[in-house]
Amino acid sequence: MYDVVAKGGVVFCIIIACSLLAMTVAIQRWWFYRSVEREDSKYMPGLGQAVAAGNTRPFGDSDGPLARLWAVMQEVCTKASGQMSEAAEVVLDKESLRLEKYLYILATIATIAPLLGLLGTVLGMIKTFHVAAMSGAGNPQLLAEGISEALYNTAAGLFVTIFCIICHNHYRNWSARRLCMLETRAKEFSSLLIKGGNDSGQ
């Protein structure tokens, strides 16, 4: 592997750095989206009973999107339902930004990686033909080796691009589904809080 990196040159190293950054973002986003799902499966099944029992902190010490949404809606639950809906919309807008955070990095790397690969290949070809011209053009093996080394950059750039496109599209879809889930939970929270307010007023 070290030989491949050494032969690929500086541009190849940049592509490797981009791939490491892309993998870091992909892992971080996967962990974040999984945490949203875990929060939903942990607290939502018993939320109605907890609220009916008078629990004002049904999400405990959780700092997830559902807990933040509940806290804001609970704070304005004594006001009109329209104001509660407006408060929920503000929270959902913020959570939408959190859900799509860092995805632009994957999109950017997906765009520049093939260009970096092409640049590395072109520079490698220039170097190969320069060496061939200096040493004489009668060695086809030298040209073949130089061209194969230059093409490492193209292959690496395409590999990183494919990985980033798959991750970006998958996470965009995942983000959209999580946002729809939060919108549904906001409606459920509104019903629970309004019902709880009516019950306490009787």
Tell me the per-residue pLDDT of 157-182, one tens digit each, with 9 for 90 and over. 999 999 999 999 999 999 999 999 88
Q: Enumerate residue ranges in the chain where pLDDT < 50.
A: 201-202
**Nearest partner of 23 among 159, 117, 116, 152, judged by Cα:** 159
| Torsion sign, CA atoms 180, 185, 187, 188 | positive
Domain extent for 59: 2-201
By the 10 Å C-beta count (0-12 exposed, 13-18 middle, 19+ buried), 126 is classed as exposed
**Dihedral angle at the C-alpha atoms of 126, 132, 137, 143, nearest 10 degrees?**
-70
Q: What is the pTM of this model?
A: 0.81
Confirm if 183 and 69 have CB atoms less than 8 A apart: no
pLDDT given at position 43: 80
Rounded distance, CA 78 to CA 194, Å? 8
pLDDT given at position 22: 97
**Within 10 A of 81 (CB to CB), how many other CB atoms are there?**
14
Number of independent structural domains in the chain: 1
pLDDT given at position 202: 47
